[in-house]
């Protein structure tokens, strides 16, 4: 006798009423991004040093940024060498890094002598700071010296070439008046380009004193202030720009106090200043490679050739040491030799 009928098996269906063809697909696993490694004691020590250099030593923003890049590379090198704490770094690590700067064996770019020397200066300063702060028992970098670049004489151009560039600069438009004023200012004061573009209107006084030319207040490396005379050509060019050019540019901006403005009314950049000078040099048919620093070199060289004392030129340039300024005397000595050889009856035999 047959048993009672069995209930039909119910097959689960999808929301569409169809039985699934196979097992449900597995939920994809999202790739997880590992969190960044926590900073090591070396990283924290570098941060402390950079804060010290920026706040207490007043290091310029551009120099501080360069130090940060250099020491980030040093941190990576030490990490690869297994150094996590300042006290683990030895002289061997420091000298190995100096070698890596030259040959790129750490995976970074192989640097020229000057760039490598700057990086080593940053590393030496870091270790000196760590030792003074008690982070390390000694300074492993104290006897490691940066590579010494060969002495390069400053590249100056002649008075005639400077005059041609200045006369080629600018038109009677707002930006043209600015261009002429900027280049006249650079040559008249010997200012660094960063000092010139960082000027505010209140930093200059065109009211000539009874005893001589106008005075400009410049802020050099480390925000060190110095006063520099502004010659009559530079003063006239600046006056024309302030009266007829800057107001038109300022009307396009947001009231910045900057002296030299771009076409949008903001502070002009160093890159724009380079472009202005290059255009003027090309217009004047100057084929030499000319930069804003060329005008600074020419300023110093022409002063010394005119009989200025080297220590006066040192003050005008804002050099901390007269040794830096004395390199310009080598240029003028070459000029003196040429004049002597051409003029003295018994110079050549």
Residue 187 annotated as catalytic: no
Q: State yes or no: is 192 an active-site residue.
A: yes
The string of DSSP codes covering 167-220 is: HHS--SSHHHHHHHHHHHHHHHH---HHHHHT-BGGGEE-S--TTSSEEEEEE-
241 shares its domain with 308: yes
Which residue in this structure is represented by tokens 């697909």? 25
pLDDT tens profile 255-302? 899 999 999 999 999 999 999 999 999 999 999 889 888 898 888 888
Pairing mode, strands 204-205 and 225-230? unpaired
Clarify whether 221 is annotated catalytic. Answer: yes
pLDDT digits (tens, 9 = 90+) for 196-225: 999 999 888 776 545 567 788 888 776 777
- pLDDT value of residue 224: 75
Residue 184 has pLDDT above 60, yes or no: yes
Which residues are bridge partners to 214 per DSSP? 230
Higher pLDDT, 230 or 208: 230
User: What confidence score (pLDDT) does residue 69 get?
Assistant: 94
Query: Can 151 be counted among the known catalytic residues?
Result: no
Q: How confident is the model at residue 153 (pLDDT cuts 50, 70, 90)?
A: low
Q: Are residues 239 and 280 in the same domain?
A: yes
Domain presence at residue 297: yes
Query: Can you spell out the DSSP letters for 228-262?
Result: EEE-HHHHHHHHHIIIIIHHHHHTTTT---BSSB-
- For 300, how many CA atoms within 13 A lie in the half-sphere containing its CB? 29
Q: Against a cut of 0.85, is the pTM above it?
A: no
Catalytic residue among 124, 192, 246, 302: 192
* Residue labelled with tokens 């000539």: 208
Is 149's pLDDT higher than 80? no
| 296 among known catalytic residues | yes
| Same domain (yes/no): 176, 122 | no
Using CA atoms, how far apart are residues 64 and 282, in angstroms rounded to an integer? Answer: 34
Q: Of 114, 132, 150, at which residue does a domain stop?
A: 132
- Predicted pLDDT at 349: 54
Question: What does the alpha-carbon distance between residue 223 and residue 143 come to, in Å, rounded to a whole number?
Answer: 30
**What percentage of residues in the chain have a pLDDT greater than 70?**
76
CATH code, 226: 1.10.443.10
- Active-site residue among 221, 236, 270, 278? 221
Say if residue 27's pLDDT is above 80: no
Residue in 135, 178, 296, 302 annotated catalytic: 296
Same domain for 77 and 187, yes or no, is no
On the question of pLDDT at 105 being above 80, the answer is yes
Per-residue confidence (pLDDT) for residue 333, from 0 to 100 = 57
Residue 9 lies in a domain: no
Q: Is 349 exposed, middle or buried (0-12, 13-18, 19+ CB in 10 A)?
A: exposed
Say which of 114, 155, 217, 293 is annotated catalytic. Answer: 293
């Amino acid at each position: 006798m047959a048993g009672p009928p069995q209930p039909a098996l119910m097959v689960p269906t999808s929301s569409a009423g169809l039985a699934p063809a196979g097992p449900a697909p597995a939920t994809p696993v999202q790739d997880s991004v590992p969190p960044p490694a926590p900073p090591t004691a070396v990283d924290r020590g570098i941060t402390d040093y950079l804060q010290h250099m920026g706040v207490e030593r007043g290091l310029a923003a551009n120099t501080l940024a360069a130090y940060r890049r250099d020491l980030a590379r040093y941190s990576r090198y030490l990490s690869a060498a297994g150094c996590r704490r300042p006290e683990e770094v030895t002289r061997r690590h420091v000298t190995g890094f100096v070698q890596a700067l030259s040959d790129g064996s750490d995976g970074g770019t192989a640097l020229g002598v000057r760039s490598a020397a700057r990086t080593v200066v940053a590393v030496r300063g870091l270790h000196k700071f760590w030792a003074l702060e008690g982070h390390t028992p000694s300074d492993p970098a104290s006897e490691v010296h940066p590579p010494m670049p060969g002495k390069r004489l400053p590249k100056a151009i002649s008075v005639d070439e400077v005059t041609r560039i200045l006369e080629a600069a600018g038109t009677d438009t707002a930006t043209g008046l600015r261009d002429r004023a900027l280049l006249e200012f650079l040559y008249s004061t010997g200012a660094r380009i960063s000092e010139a573009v960082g000027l505010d209107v209140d930093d200059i006084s065109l009211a000539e004193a009874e005893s001589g030319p106008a005075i400009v207040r410049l802020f050099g490396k480390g925000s060190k202030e110095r006063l520099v005379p502004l010659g009559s050509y530079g003063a006239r060019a600046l006056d024309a720009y302030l009266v007829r050019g800057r107001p038109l540019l300022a009307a396009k901006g947001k009231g910045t106090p900057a002296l030299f403005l771009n076409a949008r009314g903001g502070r002009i950049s160093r890159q724009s200043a380079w472009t202005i000078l290059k255009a003027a040099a090309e217009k004047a048919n100057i084929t030499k490679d000319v930069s804003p620093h060329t005008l600074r070199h020419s300023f110093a060289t022409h002063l010394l050739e005119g009989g200025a004392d080297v220590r006066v030129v040192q003050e005008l340039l804002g050099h901390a040491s007269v040794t830096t300024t004395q390199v310009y005397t080598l240029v003028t000595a070459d000029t003196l030799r040429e004049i002597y050889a051409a003029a003295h009856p018994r110079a050549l035999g």
